[in-house]
Amino acid sequence: MKVFLDSIGCRLNQSEIEKLGKQFREAGHELVSSADTADLVVVNTCVVTAAAAADSRKQIRHAARAGNARIVATGCFATIDPQTVADLPSVEKVFSNAEKDDLVSQVTGNALLDQGQLTARIPLPGNHKRTRAFIKVQDGCDNFCTFCITRIARGKSRSIPREEIFRDVEAALAGGVKEIVLTGVNLGSWGRECEEQDSLGTLIGQVFRMFHPPRLRLSSLEPWDIDGDILHALKLPGFCQHLHLPLQSGSDAVLRVMGRRINQQNYEATIKKIRAVSPDIALTTDIMVGFPGETDEFFEESLAFVRRMNFSGGHIFSYSLRPGTPAESLPNPVTPALIKNRSRRMRELIALSSSRYREDFLGHQFDVLWERSEYLGGQWELSGLTSNNLSVKCRAGEDLYNRISKVSIVRLEGDSLIGKILTLD
Ligand code: SF4
């Protein structure tokens, strides 16, 4: 059977779709790069914002229009609103997040391969092809951010057993991956429910000791989960000098109503501790604008705090009401026009601090992992990332896709640094 796998939303969804891809291949099926040529389409949906839910519906309709394929939907939107998803054209079955592990065996009618066997990870074909391997180590969340529907869709926090993580890392490296990205809904809580109270920091150390990945990166980490073990891990060779620490708002009053376990003071103290260990680290964030009750004064306070943090990048989200969340019943909604204006101002601020961060590295040398390559005008146009998340472009006489080069940064062009290759891995 020819299977097309589609994913909307976060890196966790990406890691899950990669795992489903591996299971379909193990069951003898072929992965294809578009819905047009598929017998079966699996869509891993998202519901984090109203826009993500709309995008999930759009992708399913798009797959239905593409041809005769059967469609199976899973993920957070399919979990929160299964009937709406089941009513979309050509949807044969809906699997909630809790049922996802059985999806491949149920759809194919074959039992999954014995977990003792190692199948190398091969990147998915098409748009979801990645040089990096996203490895899910944790699911669910025990925090109570009042705007968040993800914790409702994903349930209580649970850690993936260490042995399963090791198998996934080994399979990824066997497939030639140079960068492992550990992901989870609340990644920093990995190991907390285990008897010996493990921590993410010790897991990182073990992965390095056992498998020696050229690079290891963390996806989003809640700021209150930064502990001594993570700070220690920052010094390990190969550990990417980049942390994504969602702030959501720089106003203490708004953070309180959001139910976030941080305030300006302890967020700033955490950033200082991290920069004391790794002064050049890239720190990126998520900011939500237009949360109910965010007055002009609170927004200006938030803007000033974000300016002071000097983030190297960030995602700005406009608040959208998610049914079933505690924030649904909050008074004082912000008007759409104000949300739009605040979003623009926050984006401009992040763009400015991001370009300042980039400019600081002109003339520096970095290892760059090439993640895209295209043959144009007799040369290969390459783009890739440094350990500290800088986007670098370069021209080369050969295709260096999924290889690491030592590069000198020679100039800035738009949002990208332009590099000159010094040596190859
Ligand atoms: S930490 Fe907050 S925003 Fe993140 S998944 Fe948990 S409840 Fe949602």
User: Each residue of 300-343: pLDDT tens digit?
Assistant: 999 999 999 999 999 999 999 999 999 999 999 999 999 999 99
pLDDT band per the 50, 70, 90 thresholds, residue 127: low
Residue 22's pLDDT is 87
Q: Ligand 1 centre and the CA of 226: distance in Å?
A: 15
User: In this prediction, what percent of the chain has a pLDDT beyond 90?
Assistant: 84
Q: Is 17 in contact with 292 (CB distance < 8 Å)?
A: no
115 pLDDT higher than 60: no
Over the chain, what is the mean pLDDT? 93
Please tell me the distance between residue 366's alpha carbon and the centre of ligand 1 in angstroms: 34
pLDDT at 323: 92
The angle at the Cα of 269, spanning 266 to 271, to the nearest 5 degrees, equals: 110
Asked whether 221 and 189 are in contact (CB, 8 A), the reply is no
**Residue of the nearest CA to atom 8 in ligand 1?**
148
Q: Please tell me the predicted confidence (pLDDT) of residue 55.
A: 95
Residue 352 is predicted with a pLDDT of 96
Task: Kindly list the distances between the CA atom of residue 274 and the CA atoms of 154, 229, 281, in Å, as whole numbers in the listed order.
Answer: 29, 12, 8
- Residue 143 CA to ligand 1 centre (angstroms): 6
Q: Of the residues 145, 245, 256, 258, which should be mutated to test ligand 1's pocket, given the most ligand atoms within 8 Å of the CB? A: 145
Cα(152) to centroid of ligand 1, in Å? 10
Gap between the Cα atoms of 321 and 249, Å rounded: 16
Nearest atom of ligand 1 to the alpha carbon of 260: 2
CA of 260 to the centre of ligand 1 (A): 8
Residue that wins the pLDDT comparison between 129 and 228: 228
Go through 295-319 and write b for each residue having 16 or more CB atoms within 10 A of its CB, e for each that does not: eeebbebbbebbeebebbbbebbbb
Looking at residue 11, its pLDDT comes to 86
Q: How far is CA 349 from the centre of its chain?
A: 22
Neighbours of 11 (CB within 10 A): 22
Q: What's the token pair of residue 275?
A: 């920069």
Give 31 Cα–ligand 1 centroid separation in angstroms: 33
The closest residue, in CA terms, to atom 2 on ligand 1 is: 145
HSE at residue 392, side-chain half, CA atoms within 13 A, is: 31
Ramachandran region, residue 422 (left: φ > 0; alpha: ψ -120 to 50; beta: rest): alpha
Question: Which ligand 1 atom is at minimum distance from the Cα of 222?
Answer: 1
The pLDDT tens digits of the residues spanning 147-188 come to 999 989 999 999 999 999 999 999 999 989 999 999 999 999
Residue with tokens 């198998």: 167
Q: From the CA of 220, give the closest atom in ligand 1.
A: 4
Residue from 165, 149, 178, 188 nearest 317 by CA: 149
pLDDT for the residue numbered 414: 83
Q: Report pLDDT digits (tens) over 381-413.
A: 999 999 999 999 999 999 999 999 999 999 998
CA of residue 347 to ligand 1 center, whole Å? 22
- E strands along 20-161, which residues? 30-31, 40-45, 70-75, 91-94, 132-136, 138-139, 158-159
Handedness of CA 273, 294, 140, 42 (dihedral sign): negative
Within 6 Å (CB) of ligand 1, which residues are found? 141, 143, 145, 148, 150-151, 185-186, 222
Alpha helices in 76-181 (DSSP H): 76-80, 82-86, 103-108, 150-154, 162-174
Per the DSSP assignment, residues forming a β-bridge with 386 are: 368
The pTM score is: 0.92
How many angstroms does the Cα of residue 103 sit away from the middle of ligand 1?
26
Q: Which atom of ligand 1 is nearest to the CA of 259?
A: 2
The pLDDT score that the predictor gives to residue 158 is 94
Query: Which atom of ligand 1 approaches the CA of 148 most closely?
Result: 8
Average pLDDT over residues 364-387: 95
Count of alpha carbons within 13 angstroms of residue 326, beta-carbon side = 10
Take residue 224 and report the two structure tokens written for it: 């209150």
Nearest CA to ligand 1 atom 1: 143
Distance 220 CA to ligand 1 centre (A): 11
Q: What pLDDT is stored for residue 45 in this prediction?
A: 96
What confidence tier does 263 reach under pLDDT thresholds 50, 70, 90?
very high
| Contacts of 100 by beta carbon, 8 Å cutoff, 6+ apart | 16, 20, 74, 75
Give the number of the atom of ligand 1 that is nearest the alpha carbon of residue 142.
Answer: 6
Distance (Å, whole) CA 423 – CA 67: 47
Residue 60 and residue 91 in contact, taking contact as beta carbons nearer than 8 Å = yes
> Residue 239 has what DSSP assignment?
B
Q: Which of 151, 220, 224 should be mutated for ligand 1, with most atoms under 8 A from CB?
A: 151
